[in-house]
């Protein structure tokens, strides 16, 4: 079934959509991003503590499940993947600033010598 064939209730992103918030300000947006980022890093770091021999369930692209015991090369791969994920998102690729942005019409008017 394609994404187009799925109803909104069946779509894999539905849980995220249900949690969408109407952002009222840049400050609120910055707080939400910072909170999400800290939570994601904490979850990934916590996963690094999974003990050797733990049985996990992998969900394949087709939705099927595969059980895997984390040991040997599988454990090394799991740890490596977590470390790579943490390295990728550890630092946000942008900076959020709440400095007021000037009214663009005013800026353009000033550049044209109009007040």
Q: Is the pTM of this model over 0.75?
A: no
For residue 35, with 0-12 CB atoms within 10 Å meaning exposed, 13-18 middle and 19 or more buried, which class applies?
exposed
| pLDDT tens-digit map of 14-47 | 555 567 778 888 788 888 888 888 889 999 999 9
Tokens 């109407």 belong to: 22
Gap between the Cα atoms of 36 and 34, Å rounded: 6
41, two tokens: 């890093």
What sign has the CA pseudo-torsion 13, 18, 19, 21? positive
Positions of the chain with pLDDT lower than 50, given as ranges: 1-9
């Amino acid at each position: 079934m394609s994404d187009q064939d799925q109803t909104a209730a069946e779509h894999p992103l539905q849980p995220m959509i249900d949690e969408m918030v109407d952002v009222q300000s840049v400050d609120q947006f910055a707080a939400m991003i910072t909170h999400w980022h800290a939570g994601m890093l904490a979850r990934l770091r916590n996963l690094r503590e999974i003990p050797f021999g733990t049985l996990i369930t992998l969900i394949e692209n087709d939705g099927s499940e595969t059980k895997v015991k984390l040991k040997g090369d599988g454990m090394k791969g799991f740890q490596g993947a977590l470390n790579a994920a943490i390295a990728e998102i550890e630092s946000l690729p942008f900076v959020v600033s709440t400095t007021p942005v000037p009214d663009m019409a005013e800026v353009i008017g000033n550049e044209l010598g109009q007040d």
